[in-house]
Chains A and B, each alone.
Chain A
Amino acid sequence: MAVTEAHTADAAELLEPTPGALMRGRIFGHAGLLIGGAVLVTIFLMALLAPYVAPHDPYDQVLSRKLIPPVWFDDPKTTWEHILGTDHLGRDYFSRLLYGARISLLIGFSAMLISGVIGTTIGVLAGYFGGRVDMVANFIITTRLSMPVVLVAIAVVSLVGSSLNVVIWVLGLLIWDRFAVVMRSATMQVRNHDFVASAQALGCSTPRIILAEIMPNIANHLIVVATLEMAHAIILEAALSFLGMGVQPPEPSWGLMISEAKGLMFFEAWLIFIPGAALFMLVLSINLLGDGLRDVTAPEGRN
């Protein structure tokens, strides 16, 4: 077991490929990025085209057809009309799954946008100006971090009332911390570079420096955190809906579907397995994409 690295002689200089070719090579060589991206795009397309792809209306209750298992089960009730079976109210599970993807993606994306704007603003300002601004920003971040997210989210939703908008805004106003922390340290690193100093010496206004000099150089961090926080928002929404404090019935939120099936899971386990697997795949693909982007844009930052 060798636990040291000696300093080897420099290898001969290889011919340098162009930056574009280098990036393309990295992207297509990264299995996680490709798989994550492919699965995410697939889910996105299916969600987008749900009205055309879904075989049934997700709200349509046909009580005579309730609790039909998915087609691969060895049960006389199964039918190809309901590939993934039906729930306790006779609603087609596949259709609900597709429409549920819309909810997850919509909430995930919107909450990510809101938290991204808040967090990036705080982080960049803190990183750029330093001093008192940084102190205040750190204080705000620490305060936010001290509050249990799920608990506060549930409490707020219960007091204000639950709807799609409320969930989006509550999540967006709560999960901006990672944006702030990462953007702050990224800004601090870039801030001391010479090109910022020369922009200042040229008399560029602060907003211009931030937008034109700093932002492009920290954009890669932003994208990575954005993907990871979108996944985070999706899981949080599912947890909220699971506890009854998120999207309300009859909406087909995956978390809600699991919650509704909780009481039946001992005999109809697929009812929780299917939405859970969908959540898992969606979040996994987003995480793989995010990790892949991080690897590809800043390989030194990773092991």
Chain B
Amino acid sequence: MLPYLLKRLGVAILVALTVSLITFSMIYLSGDPAVALAGESATEGDIERIRLFYGYDRPILVQYLDWLGRALQGDFGQSHYLKQPVAEVIFARLPTTMMLGLFALIFALTLSIPLGVLAAIRPNSLIDRAALTIAVIGQAMPSFWFALTLMLWLGVYWRLLPITGSDTFWHFVMPGVALGYYITPAVMRLTRAGMLEVLTSDYIRTARAKGLRPMTVLFKHALRNAIIPVVSLAAVQFGFMLGGSIVIETIFAINGLGFLAWESILRADLPMMQAIVLVLSVFYIVLTFVADMLNAWLDPRIRVA
């Protein structure tokens, strides 16, 4: 398993470097970053001073390496807008997004895995059709509309939950549901498909022939095998969710990374934008790496050569 691990690690690092390069070069999309920073009423002198101050006059490669070097040490520069080190701000807001993401993941898994299993046990039954309907609706519903609707019904009409802010645990329920619903269809479908396939396996027939109880057959034998691809999918989807949290966070005014990203985009806070994209991308890369490892570990055929 070790050579496999090392190879995947190598690829992950390469990808992270490439992403950093792309992220870095993003600021040049708007043309001269010094001009963008200076604003509309700036003079030539202002622009030149800004250029020198931020080092935009140096060759691009040097700028990139300098930026990368500092980023690896945890220094993402200074936020143009907040006058604070970017790293500080990001790591202050990161836990909130993590909590939102975790909440969403738990909600999604709690809903989709049991549904997927039930749907597979009774294909074409009522519960199967219900599960499929939930999946189909989930894929078609824009998350922001779902979030607003939830906010309206649960927050305003029925007054069950708080609608904005991120102070208490209850503040995360609606955003968590809105965000988690996004990945429920994929996870449920994969669970269902995996279970359906596994249930026709010969070793399930053997398990029944041994007289094992139906629950044992289902969970100990079937699900254990069917869940392997679901685990890596869930990890990957968690990464997607973190990227997509920007919409949910802005709606519910959750003070996380997504909200911060939106604010900094509005304010053209370039260092902050770059850093957030890089952080989220690296996190996603780490997640996929972890998912690969989990995958390998769960399957003895890979784990024990």
Contact = CB atoms under 8 A, between A and B. Distances in A.
20 contacts: A143-B18, A147-B19, A147-B243, A148-B281, A154-B262, A155-B26, A159-B30, A160-B30, A235-B142, A242-B247, A243-B247, A258-B144, A258-B148, A265-B148, A266-B152, A272-B145, A272-B149, A283-B139, A287-B139, A288-B136
B15 interface: yes
Given A146-B15, A156-B26, 20 more contacts: A3-B222, A139-B15, A143-B15, A146-B284, A147-B243, A151-B243, A151-B277, A152-B277, A158-B266, A159-B27, A235-B142, A238-B142, A239-B247, A258-B144, A272-B152, A276-B148, A283-B142, A284-B140, A288-B136, A303-B197
B247 A150 contact: yes
A26 B265 CA distance: 49
Nearest to A302: B193
B191 to A, nearest CB: 11
Given A147-B281, A266-B156, A279-B145, A159 B139 contact: no
B244 interface: yes
A5 interface: yes
A294 to B, nearest CB: 12
B185 to A, nearest CB: 10
Nearest to A231: B140
A4 interface: yes
B20 to A, nearest CB: 10
Contacts of B123: 303
Range class of the B interface residue count: 35 or more
A158 B200 contact: no
Contacts of B239: 146
Range class of the A interface residue count: 35 or more
Contacts of B152: 265-266, 269, 272
B11 A142 contact: yes
Interface of B: 11, 14-16, 18-19, 22-23, 26-27, 29-30, 36, 121, 123, 136-137, 139-145, 148-149, 152, 156, 192-193, 196-197, 199-200, 204-205, 208, 214, 217-218, 222, 239-240, 242-244, 246-247, 250, 258, 261-262, 265-266, 268, 273, 276-277, 280-281, 284-285, 288
Nearest to B276: A151
A280 interface: yes
B50 to A, nearest CB: 17
A178 B80 CA distance: 37
Interface string A11-32: 0000000000000000000000
A245 interface: yes
A160 B200 CA distance: 54
A149 interface: yes
Contacts of B16: 146
Contact of B142 (A151, A152, A279): A279
Nearest to B141: A280
B114 to A, nearest CB: 16
Given A139-B11, A159-B27, A284-B136, A3 B277 contact: no
B136 A1 contact: no
B82 to A, nearest CB: 18
